[in-house]
Amino acid sequence: MTDFPHIPVHLSSSSVYPENAAYCFDLAQRLGYDGVEVMVWTDPVTQEAGALKSLAELHGLQIGAIHAPTLLLAQRLWGWDPWGKIERALDLAAEVDAQCVVVHPPFRWQRGYAEGFVEGVAERQERWGIKLAVENMFPWRSGARAMQAYLPGPDPRDFPYSAVTLDISHAATAGVDALQLAEDLGDRVCHVHLGDSFGSFKDEHLVPGRGNQRCSEVLGHLVSSGFDGVVTLEVGTRKLGTKAREAALAESLAFARQHLGQHDGPGARDVG
């Protein structure tokens, strides 16, 4: 037994891209993850509650979150209406018993959507009874130039969201200290995306421990503050072969287990 509360550690299906959701569930089970966060994508399985529930049951895993298709590359998925996308994601989350839906703030060109975003999030969260966890984002930068890409803004500290997804890599890209962000947001953080960075203008999503962010300290803070959400590994492996990808995601899980105090948990091992 550990001396710490068990914080579930999940694997984002985006971490195995371009592999599909079925591979993600299989890999998560083999490596010892507690569950999966499903990024709604062109893979039809990510859009079908029945298929996702079957995968979760087959592999004995939870589905901790549904990530709504609000990324730039998912603009056409599920139609052009942004609230329609979020509502479909909420419906999907309800069907698969996911505890939250992760959503990005609107892009700056989505002005009508952005104007009522804060209120719309609160209203839909209350109507569905599922947390709509708005993710911290970052300016788009090129050299010394930065463009405000999100409205009403990229930093959830500036808005009264009751549920937030804290993304460590996004914080680094924004030049924000992730531990300070976690402390400032307090119990509004209900979901965490764990991934490292060197603070580049690129959103790096490195294996935790391979960058220079305070990943271990953020995890320690979650334990000491009684965090009752999920930590999801969101790590970029697109350029890796199968063996290297699986090794990277095993290392990521081991890092999370170690710094959450889960030394006897599935997938735990000594890491530097």
For 49-65, write each residue's pLDDT tens digit: 999 999 999 999 999 99
Question: Shortest CA distance to 136 belongs to which of 93, 83, 190, 88?
Answer: 190
Of the chain, the end-to-end C-alpha distance in Å amounts to 22
Q: Are 16 and 252 in contact (CB under 8 A)?
A: no
Give the other-Cβ count within 10 Å of 2's Cβ: 14
Phi/psi at 96 (5° precision): -105, 5
Check whether 143 has a pLDDT greater than 70: no
Give the separation between CA 118 and CA 133, rounded to whole angstroms. Answer: 11
- Two structure tokens written together for 172: 């680094």
Determine the topology of domain 9-259 in CATH: TIM Barrel (3.20.20)
Give the separation between CA 230 and CA 237, rounded to whole angstroms. Answer: 21
- Each residue of 89-132: pLDDT tens digit? 999 999 999 999 999 999 998 999 999 999 999 999 999 999 99
- Two structure tokens written together for 202: 């690129």
What would the mean pLDDT of 3-19 be, rounded to a whole number? Answer: 89
- Two structure tokens written together for 112: 């009508």
What would the mean pLDDT of 63-88 be, rounded to a whole number? Answer: 89
In a 3-state reduction of DSSP, which class is residue 133?
strand
Check whether 21 has a pLDDT greater than 60: yes
Would you place residue 261 in the very low, low, confident or very high pLDDT band (cuts 50, 70, 90)?
Answer: very high
- Two structure tokens written together for 67: 């990530």
- What are 65's strand-pairing partners? 37, 100
Check whether 272 has a pLDDT greater than 90: no
Give the least confident one: 2-6, 140-144, 238-242: 2-6
Give the separation between CA 77 and CA 70, rounded to whole angstroms. Answer: 9
Q: Looking at residue 102, what is its pLDDT?
A: 98
- Two structure tokens written together for 159: 């808005």
Would you place residue 1 in the very low, low, confident or very high pLDDT band (cuts 50, 70, 90)?
Answer: very low
Please report the beta strands in the chain, taking only residues with DSSP state E, as ranges in sequence order: 9-12, 35-39, 62-67, 100-103, 131-135, 140-142, 145-147, 164-167, 189-194, 230-233
* Residue positions counted in the chain: 272
Residue type, 119: E
Give the separation between CA 163 and CA 152, rounded to whole angstroms. Answer: 16
Give the separation between CA 70 and CA 267, rounded to whole angstroms. Answer: 31
In a 3-state reduction of DSSP, which class is residue 219?
helix
Q: Looking at residue 2, what is its pLDDT?
A: 44
For 197: left if phi > 0, alpha if psi spans -120 to 50, otherwise beta; the answer is: beta
Give the HSE-up count for residue 58: Cα atoms under 13 Å, Cβ half-sphere. Answer: 14
Give the separation between CA 37 and CA 233, rounded to whole angstroms. Answer: 9
Residue type, 171: A
